[in-house]
Chain A
């Protein structure tokens, strides 16, 4: 139980395009989903927290207009990187939970912006 999937697992795009990453809880309803970014050999950094049906809460320094988060249902949250640039290349990981205390992590999405 408690499986979280992400799609795609890997994406390459051209600079200036937008990329959408999906995070799904497969066998439970996730009232809260978290989006993290991890640069090589660096810590996972929380980008934003989303609760189903409400606006996401972004961490300081994360541009909400660049990283659009939609948590439209209890099993799906999406992260859209708008007008992606090479510096947005990173490993994006989501986690999901029924509350904030227990988080189940997805397998991550590797984004490469050329």
Chain B
């Protein structure tokens, strides 16, 4: 059974700091990995999607890397801003034929960027 772990559970940083969020998964046979943002009491916004054959994806100040063999991904946020404050969720899809539509989520990292 795939398990996704995110470390740290919470992170508080001053504005402007660069930071890294970590995600690990137990089954390396993934189809892709996705990072989401969730604001309090809201749905999910997709940030970056990395296919299993890719090593990283970038969007603006965000960079996500994937090391499939070691079961790890990181989300790098450059020059953090108070508006980045949210919960960041990592989710993986298994490459398992008929079940590869399922997303398995981690519990998330609650990020607070202080002005």
Which A residues lie at the B interface, using CB under 8 A? Answer: 4, 6, 32, 41-46, 49, 91, 93, 95, 100-101, 103, 105-108, 110
Contact = CB atoms under 8 A, between A and B. Distances in A.
B101 A43 contact: no
Contact of B89 (A4, A44, A49, A103): A44
Interface residues of B, number: 21
Contacts of B106: 43
B107 A110 contact: no
Contacts of A110: 41
Given A43-B4, A49-B101, A100-B100, A93 B107 contact: no
Contact of A46 (B41, B42, B46, B102): B102
B107 A43 contact: yes
Nearest to A106: B43
B101 A108 contact: no
A46 B103 CA distance: 8
Nearest to B6: A43
Nearest to A100: B101
Output the residue of B91, B100, B101, B106 with the most chain A CB within 10 A. B101
Contact of B105 (A41, A44, A101, A108): A44
Interface in B30-47: 32, 36, 41-46
A107 B105 contact: no
Given A44-B89, A46-B102, A105-B43, 10 more contacts: A43-B105, A43-B107, A44-B103, A46-B103, A49-B101, A91-B41, A93-B43, A93-B44, A101-B93, A105-B44
A4 B89 CA distance: 19
28 contacts: A4-B43, A6-B43, A32-B101, A43-B4, A43-B104, A43-B108, A44-B89, A44-B91, A44-B103, A44-B105, A45-B105, A46-B103, A93-B43, A93-B44, A95-B44, A100-B100, A101-B93, A103-B103, A105-B36, A105-B43, A105-B44, A105-B45, A105-B46, A106-B43, A107-B42, A108-B41, A108-B43, A110-B41
